[in-house]
């Protein structure tokens, strides 16, 4: 069991003529926490969306826990069972209660009984401190609460890897902390995480590595202290200057 | 010539009118339910990435939507026997109404499905759900909800259109009315009463459909 | 003697299509004028007018077209008006059209931002000019796709004339089917002709709607 959690080798992706991922090589160890940052349009969201095949790649290979993801989606079911994802827009299902949101996939994919699924859902809702809202509908919750439900929903599938796609950028400022706290406590449990975010405080607190992308390329990859203290690349310096001046 | 209105002979036939109204309710209800199911199948075909499948569905939908319902009824009732398929008037009526309803439902429901945000589908996929489950559990209810008023209008229009199946002797409300007309020669009174009953039926359908909408397709949205 | 469905039989049906088109055009023009009145009444400040227009629309949208046609056909003589069945049909179809177009155009008028009327009023423009020069031209654009969509329904609706014995496309089909005993071919041909008439309108309606949506 020495293989990496995620291994991307020479990955290339185009949208028509637009080369959005250029020769991406990335290994993520088990239990490693990675923060992906970079200007908008740099390909960071696209990169993590390739890992669970929400986007197709044209060249290169992606292995998740030793399973090879085919370009046309072979093994995708297997891989998605191991990989949870949290979206910028939460994407909770509006016609289901919080509890039903969390029970759907365990029931349909793992064929869990209703009682099992419910028990698991309540366990994770409790973990994100929202169990008392289990019977409400998404529209009745605040953005921060919705995002915590989305995290619980992903956790109910028992993922080994969690992908976060700008989880706090659609939130009002006062709600960012409750979501980041949830993510930090998740990181403390040792799950593998890749997080696209500009929350540099979060990166300092939990990231083992910060990866900086620009124009579809990985420009820099370093531990947070090194990346923030002494960025090597000019584009990374410029980017940090912009982010931190806010 | 002074006409004296006399509704008595028409109203005396109320058991037949009631029977006719129930028959209209029945064939309309069945056709709506079957038409919606068939319509969803056509909608899925229409959205299929396979060109041929999508073209078949599109052709079907456009042929139905661009020809009169009455001609469709004649085509089925008078045409089917020459293919060796003999249908009773009621079967032909339900078949014609179902096929008609399916085409309109397919287009309406497609509008609903296209209004669903891509992120909803991605969230389902990321959780490991297969396409069928994504449609059934994630897309279906919000999609129907989005177009429910349009769907209801179409259903009521279908119910009103069912009056045309009287022309092939399917025994619903209009047919009953025409029989009473033939016996009493009180044409104006007959069609006045029929109009009132149809108005009541459309109100009834509207209320029932609203209740169904509340029960199955509503949820808080802020 | 049984005839088979050949070219001359098809031409007989094709010939009848002109009555379908004529009937549709007449009903659309007459009914459209009525529809404008209904729409203006429905959006007016007078409670009575609004109420009357609402009841009118409800009645015609809540009953079958066939019943409406019979009602007019048998009702006109009772008012002492003796008319040809053709005239009765045009009146019936027009009344029907007024209700549906009235409701469509009400929606269009209300979709014009209220700031437009407020701005016009602030300039001291009266009701007639407000409607004619400011609101209706904008409402016309908004309502165009649904209006064309209704025209397609009206063309299909004229098929009911066959049930009153008026010879148009559908009735000529019935006659041919009775002579040739080839209902599948005959009604196929009839349907095809309606399709040829309606499809371009359906597509135009869809295209205009997409263009309007894209403009937003």
**For A128-145, b where at least 16 C-beta lie within 10 A, e where not — what string?**
bebbebbebbbebbebbb
* Residue C183 to residue B203, Cβ atoms within 8 A: no
- B15 in contact with A at a CB cutoff of 8 Å? no
Q: Could you tell me the CATH number of the domain that includes residue B98?
A: 1.10.3720.10
Distance from C-alpha of A102 to C-alpha of A100, rounded to nearest angstrom:
5
At residue C2, the pLDDT reads 66
The count of CB pairs under 8 A between chains B and C is: 116
Rounded to an integer, the average pLDDT of A89-110 is: 95
Q: Which domain holds residue B152?
A: 14-216
Provide the percentage of residues in chain A whose pLDDT is more than 70: 99
State how far residue B94 is from chain A, nearest Cα, in angstroms.
33
Strands A18-28 and A6-15 turn out to be antiparallel
- A133 in contact with B at a CB cutoff of 8 Å? no
Chain B residues in contact with A48 by the CB 8 A cut-off are none
* Residue B122 to residue A83, Cβ atoms within 8 A: no
Give all chains having 3 or more CB-to-CB distances under 8 Å with chain A. Answer: B
Chain B residues in contact with A46 by the CB 8 A cut-off are none
**For B166-201, b where at least 16 C-beta lie within 10 A, e where not — what string?**
bbbebbbbbbbbbbbbeebebbbbbbbbbbebbbeb
Pick out chain C residues at pLDDT < 70: 1-2, 215-216
- Residue of chain A whose Cα is closest to the Cα of B138: A93
CA proximity to B123, closest of A94, A19, C84, A187: A94
- A72 in contact with B at a CB cutoff of 8 Å? no
* Contact in structure between C125 and C134 (CB atoms under 8 Å): yes
- B123 in contact with A at a CB cutoff of 8 Å? yes
Of C61, C63, C187, the CB nearest to B79: C187
Of A94, A104, A154, the CB nearest to B142: A94
- A170 in contact with B at a CB cutoff of 8 Å? no
With touching defined as 3 or more inter-chain CB pairs under 8 Å, the answer for chains A and B is yes
- Give the B window 51-70 contacts with C, CB below 8 Å: 62-63, 65-70
Rg (C-alpha) for chain A, rounded Å, is 18
**Integer CA distances (angstroms), C165 to A185, B30, B164, C159, in order:** 80, 31, 14, 11
> Could you report the predicted ipTM of this complex, rounded to two decimals?
0.92
Of C68, C194, C202, the CB nearest to B68: C194
Residues of C with CB under 8 A from a CB of B: 58-59, 61-68, 70-71, 74-75, 77-78, 80, 152, 156-157, 159-160, 162-163, 170, 173-174, 177, 182-184, 187-188, 190-191, 194-195, 198-199, 202
* Contact in structure between B126 and B176 (CB atoms under 8 Å): no
* Residue B221 to residue A108, Cβ atoms within 8 A: no
Count CB neighbours of B216 within 10 A.
13
**Tens digit of each residue's pLDDT (9 = 90 or more) over A37-65:** 999 989 999 999 999 999 999 999 999 99
Chain C residues in contact with B162 by the CB 8 A cut-off are 64
Classify residue B5: in a domain, yes or no: no
With touching defined as 3 or more inter-chain CB pairs under 8 Å, the answer for chains A and C is no
- Residue of chain C whose Cα is closest to the Cα of B164: C66
What CATH number should be reported for the domain whose range is C7-212? 1.10.3720.10
Mean pLDDT estimate for chain A: 93
Distance from C-alpha of B195 to C-alpha of B216, rounded to nearest angstrom:
31
Of A54, A80, A104, the CB nearest to B137: A104
Rounded to an integer, the average pLDDT of A214-225 is: 94
**Integer CA distances (angstroms), A95 to A98, A112, A135, A140, B135, in order:** 10, 21, 12, 12, 13
* Residue A139 to residue B222, Cβ atoms within 8 A: yes
Number of domains in chain B: 1
- Residues for chain B: how many in total? 222
Domain boundaries, chain C: 7-212
At residue A246, the pLDDT reads 59
Classify residue B135: in a domain, yes or no: yes
Of B62, B72, B78, the CB nearest to C177: B78
* Residue C75 to residue B203, Cβ atoms within 8 A: no
State how far residue B37 is from chain C, nearest Cα, in angstroms.
24
At residue A1, the pLDDT reads 45
Classify residue B2: in a domain, yes or no: no
A28 - beta bridge partners? A6
Give the mutation candidate from B1, B5, B60, B67 for the C interface (greatest C CB count, under 10 A).
B67
Distance from C-alpha of C89 to C-alpha of C97, rounded to nearest angstrom:
12
- pLDDT string in tens for chain B (222-residue length): 567 788 888 888 899 999 999 999 999 999 999 999 999 999 999 999 999 999 999 999 999 999 999 999 999 999 988 888 889 999 999 999 999 999 999 999 999 999 999 999 999 999 999 999 999 999 999 999 999 999 999 999 999 999 999 999 889 999 999 999 889 888 889 999 999 999 999 999 999 999 999 998 889 887
**Integer CA distances (angstroms), A192 to A62, A176, B199, in order:** 16, 21, 64
Distance from C-alpha of C169 to C-alpha of B163, rounded to nearest angstrom:
20
Strands A192-196 and A33-37 turn out to be parallel
**Integer CA distances (angstroms), C185 to A159, C2, C11, C20, C205, in order:** 62, 15, 14, 20, 30
Rounded to an integer, the average pLDDT of A157-180 is: 95
């Amino acid at each position: 069991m020495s293989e990496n959690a995620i291994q991307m080798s020479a990955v290339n992706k185009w949208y028509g003529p637009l080369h959005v991922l250029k020769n991406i090589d990335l290994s993520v160890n088990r239990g490693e926490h990675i923060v992906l940052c970079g200007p908008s349009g740099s390909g960071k969201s696209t990169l993590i969306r390739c890992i669970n095949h929400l986007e197709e790649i044209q060249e290169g290979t992606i292995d998740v826990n030793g399973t090879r993801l085919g370009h046309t989606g072979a093994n995708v079911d297997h891989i998605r069972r191991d990989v949870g994802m949290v979206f910028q827009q939460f994407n909770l299902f509006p016609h289901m209660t919080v509890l039903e949101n969390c029970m759907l996939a365990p029931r349909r994919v793992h064929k869990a009984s209703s009682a099992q699924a419910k028990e698991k859902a309540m366990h994770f809702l409790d973990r994100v401190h929202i169990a008392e809202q289990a019977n409400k509908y998404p529209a009745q919750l605040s953005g921060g609460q919705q995002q915590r439900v989305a995290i619980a929903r992903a956790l109910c599938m028992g993922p080994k890897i969690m992908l976060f796609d700008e989880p706090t950028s659609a939130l009002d400022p006062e709600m960012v902390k409750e979501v980041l706290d949830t993510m930090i406590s998740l990181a403390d449990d040792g799950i593998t995480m890749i997080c696209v975010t500009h929350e540099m405080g979060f990166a300092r607190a939990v990231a083992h590595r910060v990866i900086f992308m620009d124009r579809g390329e990985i420009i820099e990859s370093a531990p947070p202290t090194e990346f923030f203290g002494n960025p090597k690349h000019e584009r990374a310096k410029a980017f940090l200057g912009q982010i931190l001046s806010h | 010539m002074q006409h004296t209105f006399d509704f008595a002979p028409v109203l005396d036939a109320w058991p037949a009118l009631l029977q006719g109204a129930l028959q209209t309710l029945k064939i309309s209800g069945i056709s709506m339910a079957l038409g919606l199911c068939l319509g969803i199948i056509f909608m899925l075909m229409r959205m299929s990435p396979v060109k041929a499948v999508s073209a078949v569905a599109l052709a079907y939908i456009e042929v139905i939507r661009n020809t009169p319902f009455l001609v469709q009824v004649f085509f089925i009732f008078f045409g089917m026997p020459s293919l060796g398929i003999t249908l009773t008037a009621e079967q032909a009526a339900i078949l014609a109404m179902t096929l008609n309803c399916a085409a309109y439902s397919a287009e309406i429901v497609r509008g609903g499905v296209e209004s669903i945000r891509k992120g909803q589908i991605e969230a389902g996929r990321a959780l490991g759900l297969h396409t069928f489950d994504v449609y059934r559990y994630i897309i279906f209810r919000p999609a129907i909800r989005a177009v429910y008023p349009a769907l209801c209008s179409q259903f009521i229009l279908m119910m009103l259109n069912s009056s045309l199946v009287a022309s092939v002797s399917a025994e619903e409300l209009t047919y009953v009315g025409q029989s009473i007309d033939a016996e009493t020669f009180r044409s104006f009174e007959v069609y006045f009463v029929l109009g009132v009953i149809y108005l009541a039926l459309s109100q009834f359908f509207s209320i029932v459909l609203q209740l169904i909408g509340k029960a199955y397709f509503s949820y808080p949205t802020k | 003697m049984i005839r088979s469905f050949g070219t001359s039989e098809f031409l007989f049906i094709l010939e009848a299509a002109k009555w379908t088109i004529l009937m549709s055009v007449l009903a659309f023009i007459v009914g459209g004028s009525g529809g404008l009145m209904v729409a203006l009444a429905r959006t007016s400040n007078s409670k009575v007018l609004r109420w009357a227009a609402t009841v009118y629309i409800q009645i015609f949208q809540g009953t079958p077209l066939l019943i409406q046609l019979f009602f007019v056909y048998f009702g006109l003589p009772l008012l002492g008006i003796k008319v040809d069945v053709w005239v009765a049909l045009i009146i019936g179809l027009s009344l029907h059209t007024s209700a549906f177009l009235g409701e469509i155009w009400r929606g269009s008028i209300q979709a014009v931002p209220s700031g437009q009327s407020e701005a016009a009023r602030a300039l001291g423009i009266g009701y007639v000019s407000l409607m004619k020069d400011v609101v209706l031209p904008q409402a016309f654009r908004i309502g165009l796709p649904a209006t064309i969509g209704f025209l397609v329904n009206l063309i299909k609706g004229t098929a009911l004339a066959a049930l009153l014995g008026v010879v148009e496309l559908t009735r000529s089909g019935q006659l041919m089917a009775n002579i040739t005993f080839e209902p599948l071919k005959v009604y196929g041909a009839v349907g095809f002709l309606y399709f040829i008439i309606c499809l371009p309108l359906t597509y135009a309606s869809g295209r205009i709607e997409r263009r309007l949506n894209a403009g937003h």
